[in-house]
A and B are shown apart, each in its own frame.
Chain A
């Protein structure tokens, strides 16, 4: 693309009557001007870091004797061997998988329920509910976690009569305390994506169903839900990616409780490994995590698309 940008446009200004391109690359200069700025930044801040992480993960640090100067040498897949032998890595993966299996369906089912209610004739004050449910999305993850950290706290919470006994930040429940924060922030956002896609369905379809005597419930299950599957898939993919990236909320909760270790989630493990510093191992963790995210989200898309095709 950059090469074509440097060349002058080969095509003379179009004659007034010609409407069909004479050459396939007629607008190459314009295309280059449109695409190159984004593509260059994408290459610099997406592709380069990915390649650099892969490169770093294939290196290892060697020292001459115990106190010798460290040098980086090619280490092959040795870092990856360390990744898969690392028990903290596996327990952090297990934790986010458990989190995702419970939190993502709960959040999306709630979002779907709210979207269907907003779209049904049962509800008054739709505008208010829409805004009220979406408002938490305007709260940054750090701030949401700080707020809920106080609300959960046995002593500082306005509900301390409950929280002092419930132990919400204890080892067994703290994962679900985090899940609640994530759900609180993102339900309204996912609700709106599904709701917008419900609004796009032509209402004549419902008219026909209503004439046939279908109830609201039946219309929702038989017509609306199947038609908004693409929107649900989209929200699910983003939720899965978000789950694997989980970092901010548990990191903030470390300020409220000691039950969260520095390797609680895969991303926290990457962060704590890099502050050791052990960049090569941290890079290997990052690469494995990115590949896992990629495979999971592509796999999920494939799986749902195949179902939709049947």
Chain B
């Protein structure tokens, strides 16, 4: 394959991947009136001020429900993601570094959890949460989001390859307790993989749609995905929502893009570890 052919293929697909996002950016600078009348893939002379106006309306519409949704998504994704990452790291580390009875059985059970479709869990979880009257609460979405079997899988693989037994042993000889060794030495050696685990979990929670859809009724608890979904289903009755859906969609992907770009250095080295065996 020639150099030109390679560049042409990659160039064509760059358009495929980026044009929809560019269209979203352009659309969010349009008022409802000039959405259809002006060129769809380029800015209009009033784009800057219209964009500011759109964002302003997005953040104030319905008593500021949109910033509330963003905040909810951020809390669900960062707090549950961080907690889940630490728990996965601890568990994966123990499975990698200690020999104990039932270790492989336990690991296989957790690994089986990777293959269980999250959507198959949502419905029985709803029934269980409704017995303890926790549906339509913050906890209904937060608590199940903490558990990430894939995080344990990645942590175990990475702990086995990046934390040498000699270092753990040396820490022991220095009188460090097992927990202290983990939190001061091992966790640092595992950090590239843990950033990956966190990012995967962050994305999974941020993108989660079915669990909140099943669990939540109150709009003020919605994550941004569910919020925009309900707005989009009301577009035919309230046409002004169409602009808000598009601006909201743009705003909602910014945190993920920022997280990916700023943590690139870490997750790129960690991403491969899942495929190695």
- A interface, CB within 8 angstroms of B: 13-14, 16, 19, 24-25, 27-28, 30-31, 33-35, 37-39, 41-42, 44-46, 48-50, 52-53, 56, 110, 113-114, 117, 120, 122-124, 129, 131-143, 146-148, 150-151, 155-158, 184, 187-188, 192-194, 196-197, 199-200, 216-217, 228, 230-231, 234-235, 237, 241, 244-245, 247-248, 252, 255, 267, 270-271, 274, 279, 282-283, 286-287, 289-290, 293-294, 297-298
A196 touches B272 (CB 8 A): yes
| Chain B residue at smallest Cβ distance from A294 | B115
Check B100–A25 contact: CB distance below 8 A: yes
Partner of B117, one of A56, A133, A150, A293: A293
Q: Give the interface centre of B90, B177, B182 by most chain A CB atoms within 10 Å.
A: B90
| Bound complex: CA A87 to CA B53 (Å) | 50
Residues in B with CB closer than 8 Å to A49 are 121, 124-125, 128
B268 to chain A, nearest CB (A): 7
Determine if A27 and B17 form an interchain contact, defined as CB atoms under 8 angstroms apart: no
Interface residues, chain B, with chain A CB atoms under 8 Å away? 1-3, 6-7, 9-10, 13-14, 16-18, 20-21, 23-24, 27, 35-36, 40-41, 87-88, 90-91, 93-95, 98-101, 106, 109-110, 112-113, 115-121, 123-128, 143-144, 146-147, 149, 152, 169, 172-173, 175, 177-179, 182, 203, 206-207, 209-210, 214, 225-226, 228-229, 232-233, 235, 245-246, 249, 252-253, 256-257, 259-261, 268-269, 271-272, 274-277
30 contacts between A and B (CB under 8 A): A24-B101, A30-B94, A30-B178, A35-B91, A38-B91, A38-B152, A42-B147, A42-B149, A46-B113, A48-B124, A117-B10, A133-B13, A138-B257, A138-B260, A139-B21, A140-B207, A140-B209, A142-B209, A146-B245, A147-B20, A151-B20, A158-B40, A184-B16, A187-B17, A196-B268, A196-B271, A197-B276, A200-B276, A217-B1, A231-B276
Cβ-Cβ contact count across A and B, 8 Å cutoff:
260
Residue among B2, B149, B210 with max Cβ neighbours from chain A (10 Å): B210
A193 in contact with B115 (CB, 8 Å): no
- Cα A133 to Cα B14 in complex, Å, equals 7
Q: Tell whether A135 pairs with B21 under 8 Å between CB atoms, given A27-B98, A193-B271.
A: yes
